[in-house]
Amino acid sequence: MVTDAPQDELRGQIAVVTGSGSGIGRAIALELATAGADVLVHTGSRHSAAQQVAEEIRRLGRRAEVAVADLAVRDTHGQLVSDAWNWQQGVDIWLNIAGVDVLTREPDDATFEAKLEALWHVDVLATIRLSRLIGERMRQRGGKSGSHSIINMGWDQVRFGMAGDSGEMFAAIKGSVMAFTRSLAKSLAPEVRVNCLAPGWIRTAWGEQASEYWQQRAASESLMGRWGTPEDVAHAARFLASPAASFVTGQVLEINGGFGTAD
């Protein structure tokens, strides 16, 4: 008999979501709290926004704390992992969602090389270092097979490519993260599952102000005929973090409304 999934399947779990002060990270943090997890909310600099997310989590009856760390600075990585682990004496779920916004927040005159460098330090190097540091702690802690989970952030169009500066840099950056995810899954199995989200056209800050061309393109490249939402990605993250995905590791899950299969 098929039954509905439990609404508190993550009760008693400790989750860390980097870059969770806004956008997709915020949606994931709230979704995990809805599923029962206590959540450490990380931000690079938007402390006020992160505090608001933490307060929303507390209103759901879960514990929440805010950690501020500039992931572009290597020395912050070890400290963030230590602080997160010590908060509730362990971490069960770690999501590397933080990324550099080179589309809406970088100076208009920033060069391709400058944007690529910024993305490399946060989206790739920080993801690798944080994953390895927390993954080793999780592995040494042991427990039931697959009970610990690391989730990274990729990009669906890595498979197809996209012309232009943004397409080139994001394909290189997120392709690195996706390849690393598959290898780390092998290194940390069976104690830790490692997977990757690969969102498509998601209406975050950039999508809200995108031109009519991009509005139409995003909708037309989806079989669902619409933009995705941060909540769409959060639902996928909740599944990958949950016991329902206990036999899922080393995978890249595309959340894109069927992009790549449309006529």
CATH number assigned to the domain comprising residue 248: 3.40.50.720
Question: pLDDT at position 263, please?
Answer: 46
Structural domain includes residue 100? yes
Q: What share of the chain is helix, strand, coil (3-state, %, to 5)?
A: 50, 15, 40
Structural domain includes residue 68? yes
Give the residue from 23, 35, 44 showing the smallest Cα distance to 231: 23
Residue 92 · residue 145 · CB < 8 Å: no
Structural domain includes residue 6? no
Residue 223 · residue 133 · CB < 8 Å: no
Which secondary-structure segment (H or E) carries 234? helix 230-241
Structural domain includes residue 95? yes
Given a cut of 90, whether residue 261 has pLDDT beyond it is no
Q: Do you know the residue count of the chain?
A: 263
Question: pLDDT at position 154, please?
Answer: 97
Cα torsion angle, 174, 102, 43, 214, sign: negative
Given a cut of 60, whether residue 4 has pLDDT beyond it is no
Structural domain includes residue 24? yes
Q: Peptide bond before 199: cis, by omega within 30 degrees of 0?
A: no
Given a cut of 50, whether residue 104 has pLDDT beyond it is yes
Write the pLDDT tens digit of every residue in 206-229.
777 778 887 888 788 888 888 889
Structural domain includes residue 263? no
- The whole-number average pLDDT for the span 145-174 is 91
Question: pLDDT at position 200, please?
Answer: 84
> How far apart (Å, rounded) are the C-alpha atoms in residues 210 and 262?
22
Given a cut of 80, whether residue 145 has pLDDT beyond it is no
CA distance to 119, 126, 208, 209, per residue, from 177 (Å): 11, 10, 26, 27
Given a cut of 50, whether residue 3 has pLDDT beyond it is no
Residue 108 banded pLDDT, cuts 50, 70, 90: low
Structural domain includes residue 9? no
Write the pLDDT tens digit of every residue in 168-206.
999 999 999 999 999 999 999 999 999 999 998 788 777
With a pLDDT cut of 90, the percent of the chain lying above it is 73
> How far apart (Å, rounded) are the C-alpha atoms in residues 192 and 233?
21
Residue 23 · residue 205 · CB < 8 Å: yes
Residue 203 · residue 229 · CB < 8 Å: yes
Structural domain includes residue 260? no
> How far apart (Å, rounded) are the C-alpha atoms in residues 11 and 9?
6
Q: Which residues constitute the domain of residue 148?
A: 14-255
Name, in order, each residue with C-beta under 8 angstroms of 156's C-beta and a sequence gap of 6 or more.
198, 199, 200, 254, 255, 256, 259, 260
Neighbouring-strand partners of residue 39 = 15, 64
Residue 120 · residue 169 · CB < 8 Å: no
Domain total of the chain:
1
